[in-house]
């Protein structure tokens, strides 16, 4: 029933997942200085570091990371601010049971610096997406999205904070759906069984 969470930094999504009572077997970081590691340890969750700089190739790092994940035999691997591109072999190994949260309304604004790019584009709405991971970065079947308004006077920071608050609600909910067996991938799209709304729209500023 458990989840392994991969982080690289702050770990606020990881914290939200733990605080929601999701059973976490371990938190693994590719960086020893990730602040989220201490938060996980304080909550009694096992932590590990697989430092990508110690490996000669992406494939070698991914093999070590996969071995560390497999020690816990998780049902789900949850990427939560994990800042490494994963090799196709790694993604295939965990196909259908690895998900990510991205700070945009995918397929708009894949990649980095989404908040600044949304402001520069003059978009009126922004948000976040939980999706299954495929070999193509920030693609893969969409599980759930939360949308927020872009407000006059927004800065990158104010917009990021508004989106992050929704991330913390959305990700634990999507993980719970998965663990409850409520997510079905059909024809490359996700169907959420039961009475769950697949799209969470927030109009609160």
Catalytic residue IDs: 102
User: Of 58, 71, 103, which Cα lies nearest the Cα of 4?
Assistant: 71
Task: Enumerate helices (H) and strands (E) in the chain, giving the number of each.
Answer: 6, 10
162 binds ligand GRF (CB under 6 A): no
Q: Which is nearer to ligand GRF, 62 or 167 (CB)?
A: 167
x/- site string to ligand GRF, residues 61 to 80, per CB under 6 A? Answer: -------------------x
User: Of 26, 32, 25, which Cα lies nearest the Cα of 9?
Assistant: 32
81 binds ligand GRF (CB under 6 A): yes
Residues 128-147 that bind ligand GRF (CB under 6 A): 128
Distance CA 197, CA 126 (A): 19
Q: Which is nearer to ligand GRF, 63 or 84 (CB)?
A: 84
Indicate the residue whose CB is closest to ligand GRF: 81
104 binds ligand GRF (CB under 6 A): no
167 binds ligand GRF (CB under 6 A): yes
Alpha-carbon distances, residue 142 vs 127, 146, 176, 198 (angstroms): 13, 11, 15, 9
Give contact residues for ligand GRF (rule: CB under 6 A). 7, 9-14, 80-81, 101-103, 128, 164, 167
């Amino acid at each position: 029933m458990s989840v392994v969470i991969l982080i690289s930094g702050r770990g606020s999504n990881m914290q939200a997942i733990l605080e929601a009572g999701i059973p976490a077997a371990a938190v693994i970081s590719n960086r020893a200085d990730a602040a989220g590691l201490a938060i996980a340890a304080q909550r009694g969750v096992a932590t590990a570091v697989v430092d990508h700089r110690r490996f000669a190739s992406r494939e070698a790092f991914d093999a070590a990371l996969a071995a560390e994940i497999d020690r816990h035999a998780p049902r789900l691997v949850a990427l939560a601010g994990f800042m490494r591109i994963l090799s196709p072999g790694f993604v295939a190994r965990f196909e259908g049971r690895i998900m990510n949260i991205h700070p945009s309304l995918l397929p708009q604004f894949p990649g980095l610096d989404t908040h600044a790019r949304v402001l520069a584009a003059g978009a009126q709405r922004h948000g976040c997406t939980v999706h299954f991971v495929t070999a193509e970065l920030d693609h893969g079947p969409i599980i759930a999205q939360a949308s927020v308004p872009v407000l006059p006077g927004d800065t990158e920071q104010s917009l990021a904070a508004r989106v992050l608050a929704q991330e913390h609600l959305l990700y634990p909910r999507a993980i719970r759906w998965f663990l409850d067996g409520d997510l079905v991938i059909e024809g490359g799209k996700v169907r959420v069984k039961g009475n769950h709304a697949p799209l969470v729209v927030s109009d609160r500023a």
